[in-house]
Chain A
C-alpha cells in the first residue's frame, strides 16, 4: 500500500494542504480582519496534519522541462463548476467535499464490473510524477506536476471486452457537498469520455496527487483523469463511475454547447472556438505584462499522439 497515513488520523481531520501551508498568514489575516480567501478560521486551528505525502517516482520521459506553476496558482484558479463558476469558487467551497470513504463503480462492456473502494482501485499502481502542460479551452495554460499512474493500467484490470470502444467517466454530483449544482449552467452530473485507444495511451493518466501530496479537493480529489493533449474540460474530476461503452459518450460540454465543444477536445491552434481564437494562450503566472504564447498542436504532445488521429478531419471532429 503506497499511500501512507498515520492510522490515528481520520481522513476528515486532514487539513487541506493549502490551508496548512498558509496557516500562519491565515491566522494573521483573520486577526487583522483581512478579506482573505474564504477558508474559515476554524480549519486553520484544527489538526495540523497536512495532506498525505505520496510515494512516487519522477517520470522524466513524460515530463516537460518548463517550470511548473506554483501550488498556490494550481489550487486557486480552477474550473470546477460543481462548486461555482468563478475561478476562486472551488478553492473556497470544495472544503465541503468528503473524499473518504470513496468508491468507484466500474460498469459496461467489461468482464469485471462492480463497485470498488478507492483503496482497491489504487492499490496495485505505482505512482509517478509527471509534469504536464494543461491547456484550458478558455485559452490559458499552466504546467502542473501531477502524481498518478497510467490510466490504461487501471482500465485493463477490468478486462474490457471487444465491444468497449469508448470509456465514459462520471464525476460526483452531490447537492449536499456541491453548491454549484443548484445552477443549471451545465447538465449534471459531469460526464466525460475518451476513445478506448486514447484512454489506453501511455500519456493518459489517472491523477491522485499534486506536488508530492494527495490532490486537493478543488483539483478533483480523490482521483481525476488527465489527457494532456486535450483541453482541460476533457478531464473529469472526482470520479465515481467508469463505464466502458460501445457508443461515443455524450460529454457534458458537448451536450451543453455542441457547436463550441466537441467530443475530442484536442488542443489545436488551427481550430478556433467559435467565439475566440485558439492560436495563442496566456500562461498563468507570467504576470500582467507577459505576452501570449503560441498554442501547440496537441498541446505540444503531437509526437506522442498524432498517430491516433491520422486521417481524421480535426476541424470536423473537434
Chain B
C-alpha cells in the first residue's frame, strides 16, 4: 500500500473538509434565517419578506452552482495535471444532490403546503417542473452509485451512467430558465458554460478507448476517499 503523499494528505484532511464547510454556508444561512424568524435585520440572516421563496431559490442556486463546479473538476484536472482534484468531485456532486433534494423538500412543504394534488399537477402539467423533477430523479442513481464499491462493481457501466450528469445539468438550467418570469441572461450564461464543458469532454473523448477510466483516477488504496 503506497504511503499517501503530503499532497494527498493535504487534500484529504484540509482542502476537502474546508470545501465541505464552505458548501454548507448557504444552508446554514437559510437555517439561521428561518430560526431568526425571517425579516429580522440581522446581517446575513435576513430572508426578506418572503422567506419561503428566498430559501427555495437559495437552495436551488447553490445546487446548480455546485453541479457546475462538479462538472468543472475534470477539465481542471486535465489542465492542471493535479489528480487530487478528483477527490473533491464526489463530495461536490453529493452536495449538489443534497441541495437539490432540500430544494425539492422545501417546494413540497413550505412552498406547496404538502398539497399533493397541486404538486402532482405541477409535475405533470408544468414542463419546467417536470424537467426539474426528472433532473432530481436522475441524480438518485448517480448518488447511489457514488461509492468506491459501486464503482468497482459497475466498471465500464459506471462511467457511462455518470455521463447522465450532463443531462441533469441541462435539465436544471432549463428548469431555472422556465421558472423565471421573463429574464433569460443568467440561464443563458449557465447554458453557455455547460456547452463549453460538454465540448471539452467530447473533444477529449474523441479517439479514446472506452475503458480509459482508470487513467483519470488518482492511484489510491481502496479506502473511503
Out of B43, B51, B181, name the residue touching A288 (CB < 8 Å). Answer: B51
Which range contains the number of A residues in contact with the other chain?
Answer: 20 to 34
Chain B binding surface, main DSSP class: loop
A69 neighbours in B (Cβ, 8 Å): 49
A185 interface hit (Cβ, 8 Å): yes
Interface string of A184-203 (1 = CB under 8 A from B): 01100000000000000000
Out of A76, A256, A291, name the residue touching B182 (CB < 8 Å). Answer: A256
User: When A and B form their complex, what is the total count of cross-chain residue pairs whose Cβ atoms lie within 8 Å?
Assistant: 70
B43 neighbours in A (Cβ, 8 Å): 29, 32, 34-36
Nearest A-chain residue to B114, judged by Cβ: A291
- Given A256-B182, A287-B38, A87 and B48 touching (CB < 8 A)? yes
Q: Is the CB of A277 within 8 A of B122?
A: yes
B115 neighbours in A (Cβ, 8 Å): 280, 292
CA distance A287 to B121 in the complex (A): 25
Q: Is the CB of B41 within 8 A of A76?
A: no
Interface residues of B in 70-128 (CB under 8 A from A): 110-113, 115, 118, 121-122, 126, 128
CA distance A87 to B48 in the complex (A): 9
B34 neighbours in A (Cβ, 8 Å): 288
Out of A279, A285, A289, name the residue touching B49 (CB < 8 Å). Answer: A285
CA distance A298 to B50 in the complex (A): 23
B44 interface hit (Cβ, 8 Å): yes
Q: Is the CB of B182 within 8 A of A73?
A: no
Interface string of B46-60 (1 = CB under 8 A from A): 011111110100000
Residue with the highest number of chain B CB atoms closer than 10 Å, among A76, A257, A284: A284
A138 interface hit (Cβ, 8 Å): yes
Q: Is the CB of A287 within 8 A of B50?
A: no
The count of chain B contact residues (Cβ–Cβ below 8 Å) is 30
Q: Is the CB of A287 within 8 A of B182?
A: no
Chain A binding surface, main DSSP class: loop
Residue with the highest number of chain A CB atoms closer than 10 Å, among B37, B47, B115: B115
Out of B44, B118, B179, name the residue touching A279 (CB < 8 Å). Answer: B118
Q: Is the CB of B113 within 8 A of A291?
A: yes
A61 interface hit (Cβ, 8 Å): no
Interface string of A266-307 (1 = CB under 8 A from B): 000000000111011010110111011000000000000000
B113 neighbours in A (Cβ, 8 Å): 280, 291-292
| Shortest distance between the CB of B105 and any CB in chain A (Å) | 13
A113 interface hit (Cβ, 8 Å): no
CA distance A88 to B53 in the complex (A): 13
Nearest A-chain residue to B44, judged by Cβ: A35
Q: Is the CB of B50 within 8 A of A284?
A: yes
B178 interface hit (Cβ, 8 Å): yes
Q: Is the CB of A88 within 8 A of B48?
A: yes
| Shortest distance between the CB of B41 and any CB in chain A (Å) | 6
Residue with the highest number of chain A CB atoms closer than 10 Å, among B43, B113, B182: B182
Q: Is the CB of A275 within 8 A of B48?
A: no
B128 neighbours in A (Cβ, 8 Å): 275
Out of A36, A275, A279, A287, name the residue touching B51 (CB < 8 Å). Answer: A287
| Shortest distance between the CB of B20 and any CB in chain A (Å) | 25
- Given A277-B121, A289-B110, A76 and B48 touching (CB < 8 A)? yes
CA distance A185 to B126 in the complex (A): 22
B48 neighbours in A (Cβ, 8 Å): 76-77, 87-88
CA distance A288 to B178 in the complex (A): 24
Nearest A-chain residue to B42, judged by Cβ: A34
Nearest B-chain residue to A34, judged by Cβ: B43
Q: Can you give 14 contacting A-B residue pairs, CB < 8 Å? A: A29-B41, A34-B43, A69-B49, A72-B49, A77-B48, A88-B48, A186-B182, A276-B126, A279-B118, A280-B118, A282-B111, A285-B49, A288-B34, A288-B52
The 6 closest A-B pairs by CB, nearest first: A77-B49, A34-B43, A291-B113, A73-B49, A288-B51, A35-B43
